[in-house]
Amino acid sequence: MHHMTLAEIARGLADKKFSSEELTQVLLARIAQLDPQLNSFISLTEELALSQAKAADARRANGETGALLGAPIAHKDLFCTQGIRTSCGSKMLDNFKAPYDATVVAKLAAAGTVTLGKTNMDEFAMGSANESSYYGAVKNPWNLEHVPGGSSGGSAAAVAARLLPAATATDTGGSIRQPAAFTNLTGLKPTYGRVSRWGMIAYASSLDQGGPLARTAEDCAILLQGMAGFDPNDSTSIDEPVPDYSASLNGSLQGLRIGVPKEYFSAGLDPRIAELVHNSVKELEKLGAVIKEISLPNMQHAIPAYYVIAPAEASSNLSRFDGVRFGHRCENPENLIDLYKRSRGEGFGAEVQRRIMVGAYALSAGYYDAYYLKAQKIRRLVKNDFMAAFNEVDIILGPTTPNPAWKLGAKNSDPVAEYLEDVYTITANLAGLPGLSMPAGFVDGLPVGVQLLAPYFQEGRLLNVAHQYQMNTDWHTRTPTGF
Ligand code: GLN
């Protein structure tokens, strides 16, 4: 039962082959048995899951239908869940029970999903390895000595290990696409503003975007359908109609113009990944796509710009965690300053503190022009590069990551080495564009992802290209040994 995709589960439930309650029991038992190896969950919500499953079964018995009605999922632990711990992977919020549901959580619950739990993540979504979590590192089910990617490493590891069919995640600089690549999943970061950020604890507000992690493009379409849409509570959410994503999965690729940026194949890329990317290009050519070399000349400036803008916004967003209103508070503060200092010093881990310091520095009066303003100008150049490229091509294709999943601990002493691994994913966030990572082969037994980028609001195009690829390849069906 645990091998089923969301689409298969929807068919099975509709055909009354099993009930949502039965499926939920199976998956909860599987999580109890296997998750100790992975550490992919911060909290399990068995009681809620069983009551939601029963309610979904009752709705079906009353004639209701829907691809998500009775579908088991989990939420990354930065989506607020009413009455349930929402930790953001931090000691700071270890005792925080959200007083309301995030819009994404509420929309998916209304569609009938069953929440099995909250998944592990890098602290405040800062990281690419899921090693900065207060709740401990997550292991990659493909090789337990390797990282699953981050910051949505818990969602990725759980779905890859068949503990559940799909999960929500968020992507500020790659946190959906990079863990998808590292664990052989399909992950989609939607256009900025497509999915509401209300109740999604902020890391860098102008870059953060929620989206689906699943095994297939077909399942990403189903989950995105339940997440996307205008939300008056989020002033950056965009009031555009949501297309039927599943209906977009049957388009022909005949004549589709795919751009491959020459800058992607620089010295930093593992040549074995480059070869797998070229293989995926050949596969798409067989399906009728036309390949064109393009250029994104400002890509080299993206990492420094991102690692100024993201920490700058984070330093501002995280100032609310002051030990006064919610979150961790130190014991016996001597005065207000002592309260702030010790609560924040004890509550935030090393990477979060590093980013707050970098961000506060970049925003300070004497350095604002030199760092923050400059980074914003680079951001515009990065966007302009994409706009020019999309005048010539329909999709941009390349590697999701320069290397496969590294060993746990391998980059702990060198944060910049970890930042450099985000080179292919962060540009989509700087420009606000949608991006998808799909499985495209293996290197040393570790999965490799190919990234597709599209113009604003063309999530359907991304999902269709990935779906056509998956109808003709079987990388996405591979299962990690032991799971
Ligand atoms: N690795 C990037 C960072 O640490 C992106 C993280 C994310 O997308 N949340 O900022």
How do residues 156-211 score in pLDDT, each as one tens digit? 999 999 999 999 999 999 999 999 999 999 999 999 999 999 999 999 999 999 99
Q: How wide is the angle at C-alpha 469 spanned by C-alphas 299 and 287, nearest 5°?
A: 100
Task: Judge if pTM exceeds 0.85.
Answer: yes
Catalytic residue at 413?
Answer: no
Specify the number of domains making up the chain. 1
Is there a contact between 361 and 367 (Cβ–Cβ < 8 Å)?
yes
Q: What pLDDT is attached to residue 432?
A: 98
Query: Is there a domain that residue 224 lies in?
Result: yes
CA distances to 22, 457, 459, 469 from 245, rounded to whole Å, are: 28, 11, 8, 16
Q: What pLDDT is attached to residue 287?
A: 98
- Cα of 293 to ligand 1 centre, how many Å? 28
* pLDDT tens per residue across span 132-146: 999 999 999 999 999
Spans of the chain, pLDDT less than 50:
none
Considering only CA atoms, which residue is closest to atom 4 of ligand 1? 127
Query: Is there a domain that residue 459 lies in?
Result: yes
- Cα of 255 to ligand 1 centre, how many Å? 35
What does the buried/exposed string (b/e) look like for 453-464 if buried means 16 or more CB atoms within 10 Å of the residue's CB? bbbbbbbbbbbb
Query: Is there a domain that residue 415 lies in?
Result: no
Q: What pLDDT is attached to residue 267?
A: 79
The answer for residues whose C-beta is within 8 angstroms of residue 332's C-beta and 6 or more apart is none
- What is the 3-state secondary structure of the chain? CCCCCHHHHHHHHHCCCCCHHHHHHHHHHHHHHHHHHHCCEEEECHHHHHHHHHHHHHHHHCCCCCCCCCCEEEEECCECECCEECCCCCHHHCCCECCCCCHHHHHHHHCCCEEEEEECCCHHHCCCCCCCCCCCCCCECCECCECCCCCCHHHHHHHHCCCCCEEEEECCCCCCHHHHHHHCCEEEECCCCCECCCCECCCCCCCCCEEEEECCHHHHHHHHHHHECCCCCCCCCCCCCCCCCHHHHHCCCCCCEEEEEHHHHCCCCCHHHHHHHHHHHHHHHHCCCEEEEECCCCHHHHHHHHHHHHHHHHHHHHHHCCCCCCCCCCCCCCCHHHHHHHHHHHHCCHHHHHHHHHHHHHHCCCCCHHHHHHHHHHHHHHHHHHHHHCCCCCEEEEECCCCCCCECCCCCCCHHHHHHCCCCCHHHHHHCCCEEEEEEEEECCEEEEEEEECCCCCHHHHHHHHHHHHHHCCHHHCCCCCC
Query: Is there a domain that residue 137 lies in?
Result: yes
Catalytic residue at 76?
Answer: yes
Mutating to test ligand 1, I would choose from 119, 131, 151 the residue with most ligand atoms within 8 A of its C-beta, which is: 151
- Cα of 122 to ligand 1 centre, how many Å? 9
Q: What pLDDT is attached to residue 356?
A: 98
- Cα of 208 to ligand 1 centre, how many Å? 9
Q: What pLDDT is attached to residue 266?
A: 86
Is there a contact between 150 and 408 (Cβ–Cβ < 8 Å)?
no
- Cα of 435 to ligand 1 centre, how many Å? 15
Catalytic residue at 16?
Answer: no
Query: Is there a domain that residue 142 lies in?
Result: yes
- State the Cα–Cα distance between residues 84 and 169, nearest whole angstrom: 17
Q: Which atom of ligand 1 is nearest to the CA of 306?
A: 10
> The domain containing residue 239 runs over which residues?
6-255+435-477
Q: CB under 6 Å to ligand 1: residues? A: 125-128, 151, 171-175, 203, 310, 422
In the set 151, 155, 196, 280, the catalytic residue is: 151
CATH of the domain at 453: 3.90.1300.10
Q: What pLDDT is attached to residue 352?
A: 98
Query: Is there a domain that residue 33 lies in?
Result: yes
Query: Is there a domain that residue 25 lies in?
Result: yes
Any idea how long the chain is? 483
Considering only CA atoms, which residue is closest to atom 10 of ligand 1? 126
Query: Is there a domain that residue 266 lies in?
Result: no
Q: What pLDDT is attached to residue 326?
A: 86
- State the Cα–Cα distance between residues 66 and 108, nearest whole angstrom: 11
